[in-house]
Amino acid sequence: MKIKTAQRLQQVEEYYFSRKLKEINQLRQQGVDVINLGIGSPDQPPADETIETLVSESRKAGNHAYQPYSGIPELRQAFASWYQKYFGVSLLADSEILPLMGSKEGIMHVSMAFLNPGEEVLVPNPGYPAYASVARLLGAKVQPYELKETSGWLPDFEELESRDLTKVKIMWVNYPHMPTGTRASTALFEQLIAFGLKHEILIVNDNPYSFILNEKPLSILKVEGAKEIALELNSMSKSHNMAGWRIGMLAGKADYIQSVLQAKSNMDSGMFKPLQMAAAKALESDSLWYEALNATYRRRRLSAFRLLDQLNCTYKPDQVGMFVWARIPDAFTNAEQFSEQVLHTKQVFITPGFIFGDAGKKYVRVSLCATEERLIEAGKRLSQLSFLEKKV
């Protein structure tokens, strides 16, 4: 006898990178040296002070107990100070900030707190796949809104206004945008807040890339009236090289934060205190930390540009974030097959854009989370590709 799985599993598939990393690991076990330029997992360590704080705090006997569901005061205050210093946003540490086990967790908790079955969610296409997957798992309906290169990968508010929005509860946005690298702007955030207020739609900005190759970090919460209708997720994964630590945060109006905590408190029992203390230390990093991090990514981005030139791909050089988004040659119609041929002929993996929505089917994404040496080696492997003249 086999126990049947829940019907909600019919609405989602295993995460693409979960499947693809298994395949790459199998190839490596067979002795194939695959250069993985797919996933955005920082390969550099956090600051020394961050690691030292984790070690020293872990040695304290009293730090191994359960912790508050809303995070320790030290971490909430550190996030508040970080937002004030770099975003110019004032947040009440006790009530307007909720530490999370990574911002991906926050997507689920925000959705659980506000979505009912049958309600609708506006999801960017291309965009982070988790926005749509979580909505479907909770029985909500996804309304994709297409972002186009010709429109600068920005929402088409005129098109959105023409829709029936009466059942829409949440609009997911993500600027700086992944995967396209489009920058945030105050004007865009103002439009989003006005749109949310007009239609009573909760605007949630997912903001983990604001410090990577981006001189002016912006928060949607800086816009006047934003707290009435918006929440913002942020993460230490990219900005502080702490992806595996799983530390993020949600910021916004106290009432909204309390609603999310109501759902979240039924899902976990708090984070390990030394992790939180180390994260608080990391948030004290000065501008030199970010400058050094970005100097490395800037050099890697140049190598990625050269690699994409060899693939006859086109891209915008002013992208931000830790990826480069590029259009495949016009002779090709399918980025997945393009990516597969690059992987299996030259042992270099680049992400096909279709996984971010059908608007990405003619694009690929190259991660900067590989050393310059590996990026240069990938470029050498791709210098001669026999299939480039063939139509796929």
So what's the pLDDT on residue 388?
60
Specify burial of residue 39 (Cβ count, 10 A radius: 0-12, 13-18, 19+). middle
Quick check: is 355 in a domain? yes
So what's the pLDDT on residue 391?
45
Query: In this structure, are 276 and 294 located in the same domain?
Result: no
The edge-to-edge listing of strands for the beta sheet with 348-352 is 35-37, 348-352, 363-367, 323-327, 314-315
Query: In this structure, are 186 and 204 located in the same domain?
Result: yes
CB atoms within 10 A of CB 3: 4
Please choose, from the candidates 160, 131, 180, the residue with its C-alpha nearest in 3D space to the C-alpha of residue 360. Answer: 180
Quick check: is 55 in a domain? no
Residues of the chain with pLDDT under 70: 1, 385-392
- How many domains in the chain? 2
Quick check: is 50 in a domain? no
What phi, psi does 333 have (nearest 5°)?
Answer: -115, -5
Query: In this structure, are 182 and 301 located in the same domain?
Result: no
So what's the pLDDT on residue 228?
98
Residue 97 is inside which H or E element, if any?
Answer: strand 97-100
Q: If you compute the radius of gyration of the chain from its CA atoms, what whole number of angstroms results?
A: 21
Query: In this structure, are 115 and 210 located in the same domain?
Result: yes
Query: In this structure, are 148 and 248 located in the same domain?
Result: yes
Query: In this structure, are 37 and 172 located in the same domain?
Result: no
Query: In this structure, are 220 and 96 located in the same domain?
Result: yes
Q: Which amino acid is at 76?
A: R
Asked which of 232, 258, 285 is the last residue of a domain, the reply is 285
DSSP structural state of residue 322: S
* Entry pTM: 0.94
Query: In this structure, are 293 and 270 located in the same domain?
Result: no
Asked which of 255, 285, 315 is the last residue of a domain, the reply is 285
Q: Domain span at residue 199? A: 64-285
Asked which of 236, 260, 285 is the last residue of a domain, the reply is 285
pLDDT tens sequence across 216-242? 999 999 999 999 999 999 999 999 999
So what's the pLDDT on residue 182?
97
Quick check: is 53 in a domain? no
So what's the pLDDT on residue 333?
85
* CATH code of the domain covering residue 167: 3.40.640.10
Quick check: is 2 in a domain? no
Cα angle value 164/160/135 (rounded, 5°): 70
